[in-house]
Homo-oligomer: A and B are copies of this chain.
């Protein structure tokens, strides 16, 4: 027994979202039946206009409302330092941390052969074009510290070396170790080994 058509449509839409199962989708749809129509219309409008009202930055591919995103438009940000992130949410996490003064490049994912995602499916050609343009002095690779993220970081490094630009551009990878507030006792072995490797002298 499925729900009636108008309700089922909403359930199906929710179920297509990542991390929303059939039971949560049904609960959300039936919850919305008790919400004022005005709020439903507002929700619907926000969804319908989400892509219409946004643009990808022509330089870094961050989400914005104009041709260039707020970060790229900001004249106080150093254009010589570029932090390479997987997506706009990762960029936002760095912005929230409020300490980075360079700009970004949003790859739009990571290299993942199992999902059939190669370098040309990402904004890697565009990154290489920015690198070739010559303004960049440091590339900070901030892809996630998992298999695909590391592979993407290695690919980018190799690519820039192949282009013969590794002397002009410093390529760095975000630090590895224990996150703030963590417990040595509960940290996994790999994290501990990485923390030992990247130890620094007490000042």
Which positions in A face B, CB cutoff 8 Å? 1, 3-7, 9-10, 12-13, 16-19, 24, 26-33, 37, 39-54, 63-65, 70, 87-89, 92, 95-96, 98
Contacts and interface: CB of A to CB of B under 8 A. Distances in A.
Given A13-B43, A18-B28, A33 B63 contact: yes
Contacts of A42: 9, 13
A87 B19 contact: no
Contacts of A53: 5-6
Which of A6, A16, A42, A49 is the most central at the interface, judged by chain B CB atoms within 10 Å of its CB?
A: A6
Contacts of A96: 1
Contact of A6 (B37, B44, B54): B54
Contacts of A18: 27-28, 31
Contacts of A48: 40-41, 44
Q: For the complex formed by this chain, how many copies does it contain in all?
A: 2
Of A6, A46, A65, A95, most B-chain CB atoms within 10 Å: A46
8 contacts: A4-B54, A5-B53, A6-B50, A30-B89, A40-B47, A40-B51, A44-B44, A44-B45
B24 A37 contact: no
Contacts of A3: 63, 92
B47 A87 contact: no
B51 A37 contact: yes
B44 A47 contact: yes
Given A19-B24, A43-B13, A46-B13, A33 B51 contact: yes
A6 B89 contact: no
Given A46-B6, A89-B26, A98-B1, A52 B32 contact: no
A47 B5 CA distance: 12
Contacts of A88: 30, 33
Given A44-B48, A47-B44, A63-B33, A19 B27 contact: yes
